[in-house]
Structure 1
Amino acid sequence: MLESNIEDLTKKIITEFSKTIEMFGLTTLEARLFVYLYLEEAPMTLDEMSEALGKSKTSMSTSIRSLSDFNLVTRVWKKGVRKDLYVANEQIFKTIMNSYTGKWIDAANHQKDSLYDIKKQFKNENIPNSPLNNRLNNIIKFHQQLEKAMREIKQN
C-alpha cells in the first residue's frame, strides 16, 4: 500500500514539475525525462529510461541529447557497466536559468544586430525622422533592456 502511494505521488510530481520545466523550451518528453531522472537520483541507461517512461530507446536518446545540451544531465561512468549512464544535474535552478538566460541573450543580440542593419537602411535612404524609424528605435531599446535584464538574472 505504501509503495503504491509513493508511486502515485511520484507520478504527480513528474506531471506537475515537468509542466514548469516545459516553460523553458523543453518538449514534454524531455521535461518528464529530466524530472524522472532527478527524482530517481541513481544513474540510468537509455534502456531503463525507455522502460520507465514507456517510450522508445530512440526517443530517450534524442531527449537525453537535448537535456545534455541544456546541461541538465551528465553522462557518468560506473565500473562494470558498458552502457552509457546518465544522472540529472542537482542544481536545477542555476542550470536552467544559465541555459535559458544565455539563449535569451544570444537571441536578443542577434535580433538587435538585425534591427541595427535596418536602422542603417533608414540612414541610407535618408529617412531619419519617420514614425516608423521612431518605432524601430523603441524596438531596439526593448532588445537592449531585455539583454540587460537577462544578464542581471544570469549574474545572480
Structure 2
Amino acid sequence: MVEDKLNKARERVIKAISQNLNLYGISPSIGRLWGLLYFQNEPMTLDDMKLELGMSKTSMSTSVRSLTDLNMVNKVWKKGVRKDLYEVEEDWHQNFIDFFSTKWRNGVSMNIAAIEKSLHELKELLDIQDLDNEILGEINSDIEKLNKALDYYDWLNRLIDSLESHEIFEFIPKKDR
C-alpha cells in the first residue's frame, strides 16, 4: 500500500517531466529515463535502466548519451563495478542552464550566420545603379529589421552568458529549502 502510493507519486512527476521535456524536443522515453534516474539513490547501469524501462540496450545507450550531452546525467565510477554507472544531475537550476544554453547558443549561431549573410547580400544590392525606389525602400527596410534581429541575438547571448556565469542568480536568487 505505502509502496504503491510512493510509486504513484513518483510516476506522476516522471510523467510530467517527460511531457515537459518533450515540449523542448526531448523524446518522452528520454524524459522517462531522466525521471527514473532522478528518483534513484544509487547510480544505475544501462542493464538496470533497461530492466526498469523495458527499452532495448541500444535505445537506452542512445538516451543516456543524449542526457550526458545535455549535462543532465553524469557517468560515475564506483569501486568494484566494471560496468558504466550513471546518475542524474540533481541541480535543477544547472540542468536548466545547461539545457537551454546549449539549445539557445545553437539557435543564435545559426540565425546570426543567416542574418549576416543576408545583410551582406542586401548591402551589395545597394551598390546597384538605378534601383527602383520601391525596391530600395524594401532593401533598407529589410536591413533595418535584420539589424534589430542582431540586437535581439546580442541580448540573448548576454542572457545565456549570465546563466552560464550564474550572474542571473544575483537578479533572481535561488530559494534555499
Where in structure 2 are there 5+ consecutive unaligned residues? 128-135, 169-177
Q: Which has the larger radius of gyration?
A: 2
Contact 2:71 2:98 in 1 (8 A): no
Contact 1:70 1:96 in 2 (8 A): no
- The residue that corresponds to 1:54 in the other structure is 54
Hey, what's the Cα distance between the residues in 2 that align with 1:152 and 1:23? Answer: 24
Structure 1 residues 28-47: aligned runs within 5 Å: 28-47=28-47
SS at structure 2 position matched to 1:111: helix
Hey, what's the Cα distance between the residues in 2 that align with 1:153 and 1:78? Answer: 32
- The residue that corresponds to 2:155 in the other structure is 145
Contact 1:109 1:147 in 2 (8 A): no
Which of 137, 145, 167 is the equivalent residue of 1:135?
A: 145
Change (3 A) 1:154 1:24: farther
The percent of aligned pairs where both chains have the same amino acid is 31
Hey, what's the Cα distance between the residues in 2 that align with 1:65 and 1:45? Answer: 13
SS at structure 1 position matched to 2:126: coil
| In the alignment, structure 1 residue 16 sits paired with structure 2 residue 16 | yes
Aligned length: 156
* Higher relative contact order, structure no. (Cα contacts within 8 Å, ≥ 6 residues apart): 1
Hey, what's the Cα distance between the residues in 1 that align with 2:40 and 2:103? Answer: 28
Hey, what's the Cα distance between the residues in 1 that align with 2:37 and 2:17? Answer: 12
Instruction: Give per-residue Cα distances to partners, 1:99-144, cap 9 Å, x unaligned.
Output: 3223312421331132112111111121665333333333333323
Match of 1:142, as an amino acid?
A: Y
**Deviation of the 1:150 alpha carbon:** 2.8
**Deviation of the 1:153 alpha carbon:** 3.4
SS at structure 2 position matched to 1:103: helix
Hey, what's the Cα distance between the residues in 2 that align with 1:79 and 1:152? Answer: 38
TM-score normalized by structure 1? 0.86
Contact 1:76 1:87 in 2 (8 A): yes
